[in-house]
Each structure stands twice: as C-alpha cells, then as structure tokens.
C-alpha cells in the first residue's frame, strides 16, 4: 500500500515507504493491466526497459502472480535496447530474460527483441518494421490520434540525469517525431550504441509507468514532476516530456526518490 498517493498534472504519484511495498503494489498494477488488456483485446503488449526496473519486477515471478497472470497472452518489447549481443552483460534483453522472462511461461515467439547482428541504425529500422507488422495485426493496438503503436503498458525507469528509455537530456533523439524507433551511437551512458522508442510512441501508450527508487534520483524526480519556472528546459529532463496523450501515467516512487518533491512534506509526514 502506498504511504501516499496523489494526482498531479504530471500523472498519478504513488509513494512508498520501502521497496517491499512498492514492488508488491507495482506487481498488482502490472497484473491488473494484463488482465484488463487480455479481456479487452486478447493480448497484452508490454514494453520493458532495462536497469533497475527488472529487479523491481521480481515479485511477478512469485505466487500468486506466477500462476494468475496469463503469461501466454503477453507480447514483450523493449522501450530501449543497447546494441550488443543478446548474451552481453549490457543487453536489456538478457537482463529481462534472466530476471523475469525465463521464470514465467511467456512464449518465446512473443518475445520481440532486437536483431543483434545489425548496426544501431539497421537495428532501429528492423525493430520498427517488426513493430509495424504487429500493429497491422493489432497484436499491438494503434493510436487513433497519432497513428503510433498504442502499447497496453510501457514501463520506464529513470536515470539520475532524468533520462528515460535511451532518451538523454539535450540529445537530438528527444526531438525525433517521424520515426517510431530511433538510434544513438553516442549515448552519454555506456554502451554508446542504442535503439529507443521515440517520445511520440511513449506518449501514445494506454499506460506508462515510471518506476524510480533511491536518493540519487531525487533531484531528477523533482525536476520531472514539480512546477518549474517558464525558463526551465524540459528537454534537459526527458522524463518530464512523458505525457501520454490519451493514456495514463503513474509514477511509482520510494520515499528516498520522492524526498525532494515540493509536495513531499504534505504527502510524507
């Protein structure tokens, strides 16, 4: 149970005393959205990120979720991926495979990872092609307002610099609008070669969750959520640019990550 919750123009805030409460509520949230999507569409199209997110999803491998979630209906994508081989320690696919996908009965044909034999540019184009085929068959829904894929759920972490997926502060990838997937060869965080969903794709999802823990990210959380002066450049905090057009944004924060929020003194006594 969240120690506090609130609705802000920047999405719904769920703040937890500790990681145990956060991960349990987060697992409930993912399981519920999976159930609703499967009821409504017959499938659940979910995009994962890398980093700390996967360890925060570990509860989903445990009962009751391991038994109650209809894993065979999941179609798994990555909101960003590092252009390395699938068995490389930096691979977001490997992280999710080891930490989640190998422990639950998701069908391997429903796991849509990048082609790791291609360059970053080619891998981005290839991943977008794959996604376009799956939108045609409505495995992934389509947004009526943007023509972009409409994922049932996109899960994002956030770096201490405010980056989400592989959209880094001030990087031109933030501005990409025509493509669904873009690539970087100069990521400020290693490894340098990556592919990433563009902001229009992230903001077309039915649901987006940003999951953040730890004091090192408190300033970025503040800059992403709190009211700022007009001069504040949102492109310097990509998480602030996550604003689903027709969907719902939820922040899952632990107390440390939320500690610099303007509202934190009211929300957290």
Ligand X SMILES: O=C1O[C@H](COP(=O)(O)O)[C@@H](O)[C@H](O)[C@H]1O
Q: How far is the CB of 41 from ligand X (least distance, A)?
A: 25
Residue nearest to ligand X (CB): 51
Q: Least Å distance between CB 124 and ligand X?
A: 14
Q: How near is the Cβ of 50 to ligand X at its closest, in Å? A: 4
Question: CA dist 246 to 117, 155, 205, Å?
Answer: 36, 16, 8
Q: Which is nearer to ligand X, 18 or 192 (CB)?
A: 192
> Quick check: helix, strand or coil at residue 111?
strand
d(CA 269, CA 265): 6
Provide, rounded to whole angstroms, the least separation between the CB of residue 157 and ligand X: 3
Distance of closest approach, residue 144 Cβ to ligand X, in angstroms: 28
Closer residue to ligand X in complex, CB, 73/195: 195
Burial of 32 (0-12, 13-18, 19+ CB in 10 A): exposed
Cβ-based nearer residue to ligand X, 27 or 167: 167
Chain contacts with ligand X (rule: CB under 6 A): 49-53, 80, 92, 156-157, 159, 165-166, 189
Given the complex with ligand X, which of 123 and 165 has the nearer CB atom? 165
6 burial type by CB count under 10 A (0-12 exposed, 13-18 middle, 19+ buried): middle
Token pair of 30 as six digits: 């993912």
Q: Closest CB to ligand X among 50 and 149?
A: 50
Return the half-sphere exposure (C-beta side, CA atoms, 13 A cut-off) of residue 175. 4
């Amino acid at each position: 149970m969240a120690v506090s919750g609130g609705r802000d123009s920047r999405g719904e805030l769920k703040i937890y005393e500790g990681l145990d409460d956060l991960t349990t509520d987060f697992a409930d949230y993912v399981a519920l959205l999976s159930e609703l999507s499967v009821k409504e569409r017959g499938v659940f199209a979910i995009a994962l990120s890398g980093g700390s997110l996967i360890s925060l999803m570990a509860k989903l491998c445990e009962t009751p979720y391991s038994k109650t979630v209809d894993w065979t209906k999941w179609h798994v994508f990555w909101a960003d991926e590092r252009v390395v081989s699938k068995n490389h320690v930096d691979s977001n696919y490997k992280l999710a495979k080891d930490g989640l996908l190998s422990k639950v009965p998701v069908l391997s044909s429903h796991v849509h990872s990048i082609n790791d034999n291609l360059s970053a540019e080619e891998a981005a184009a290839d991943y977008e092609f794959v996604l376009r085929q799956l939108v045609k068959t409505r495995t992934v829904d389509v947004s009526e307002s943007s023509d972009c894929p409409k994922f049932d759920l996109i899960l994002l972490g956030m770096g201490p610099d405010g980056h989400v997926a592989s959209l880094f502060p001030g990087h031109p990838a933030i501005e990409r609008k025509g493509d669904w997937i873009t690539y970087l060869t100069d990521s400020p965080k290693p490894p340098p070669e990556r592919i990433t969903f563009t902001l229009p794709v992230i903001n077309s999802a039915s649901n987006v969750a940003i999951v953040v823990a730890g004091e090192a990210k408190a300033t970025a959380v503040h800059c992403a959520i709190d009211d700022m002066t007009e001069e504040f450049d949102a492109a310097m905090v990509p998480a602030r640019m996550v604003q689903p057009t027709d969907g719902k944004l939820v922040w899952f924060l632990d107390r440390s990550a939320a500690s610099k929020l303007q509202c934190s003194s009211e929300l957290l006594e």
